[in-house]
Amino acid sequence: MRGLSIGLVLGTMLSGCYSTVSEPWWNQSFSQRPQAAQQRQAQPQPLPPGMIEVAKGDSVYGLAKRHGVGVREIIDANGLEAPFKLLVGQRLKIPQLAPQQPRQNVAALSLPAPAFPPPIASAQASVPEPTPAARPGPEPAALVFPEPRPKAGKGFLWPVKGPLVEGFGVTGKGQNNDGINIGAKRGAYVRASENGVVVYAGSELKGFGNMLLVKHQDGWVSAYAHNDLLLVGKGDRVDRGQAIARVGATGLVTSPQLHFELRHNSKPVNPLVQLVDG
């Protein structure tokens, strides 16, 4: 089930917009490059300093984490726009890229996929755009989680504004939802519900897409799934109301929405009882 899968990840963690402006040929796919450029590719050419070539499976967040630079730095340096999709063979500038940067592989967690397919819905609400903190977290091997700061307000903030797609508890299909699903506009900012520390940031858990888990004081943890882009990384401290991701449709959904959970001492709690307007 959906909740069981997130619960397993939580246990593991706590125990330890397109443009028509033409682009330079090096930022285009192979099929888009001029013929002369294709001919130059017939002979292997060294990459210009500070540039990399996108490989299969690469994402903006993954490249930022691999090379130790901020997500926003890569986006700004290359003029990328939402939804920040990359093409195999596309060349990107990596700010302050160290020479001979080794490629790192992220091992997938051996966790079951959720049996409950998240609901599909369209949505139209959006939220104000705060400034994101776009810095990836440190590598897990060297990670020591800081303690979350005290809560900054009463209850937990709504992470995004939009219609309720699916509520908490038993669904009409006889399955269980350990959180709620909120419809929202693709690319809208997802906000941290309270002060906390990111204890998981990734997409290894099949079905949930790009997901964040944030630990708060007093045994509380919040979960944010199906994001298009993660703006913070594992080990980062986040503030109440801070933009931590952008709404997407990753995982087992085909329309933009956020799956949000609140857990207290590892037990799921109905978010609607705890959420307040900011």
Task: For residue range 49-73, list pLDDT tens digits in order.
Answer: 888 888 888 888 788 878 888 788 8
The domain that contains 263 carries what CATH number?
2.70.70.10
Give the residues across from 52 on adjacent strands: 92
Q: How many domains does the chain have?
A: 2
The answer to whether residue 101 scores a pLDDT higher than 90 is: no
Range of 167's domain?
2-15+119-276
User: Do 195 and 215 have their domain in common?
Assistant: yes
Structure-block tokens of residue 185: 């506009």
Q: What angle (nearest 5°) sits at the alpha carbon of residue 191, between those of residues 190 and 197?
A: 115
Output DSSP code: residue 77: H
The pTM assigned to this predicted structure is 0.56
**pLDDT at res. 36:** 47
Residues 6+ apart with CB under 8 A from 194: 151, 152, 153, 156, 157, 214, 216, 220, 222, 240
CB 261 within 8 A of CB 179: yes
User: Do 71 and 30 have their domain in common?
Assistant: yes
The domain that contains 32 carries what CATH number?
3.10.350.10
Q: Does 100 map to a domain?
A: no
**pLDDT at res. 11:** 60
Q: Which of 93-102, 212-221, 269-278 has the lowest mean pLDDT?
A: 93-102
User: Do 123 and 86 have their domain in common?
Assistant: no
User: Do 161 and 254 have their domain in common?
Assistant: yes
Q: How confident is the model at residue 4 (pLDDT cuts 50, 70, 90)?
A: low
**pLDDT at res. 121:** 44
CB 70 within 8 A of CB 135: yes
User: Do 44 and 177 have their domain in common?
Assistant: no
- Looking at residues 158-162, what average pLDDT do you find? 96
pLDDT, tens digit, 9 for 90 and up, residues 18-59: 333 444 444 444 444 455 445 555 556 778 888 888 888 888
Residues 196, 201, 203, 206: is their CA dihedral positive or negative? Answer: negative
Q: How confident is the model at residue 128 (pLDDT cuts 50, 70, 90)?
A: very low
Best-predicted range by mean pLDDT among 70-74, 85-89, 105-109, 207-211? 207-211
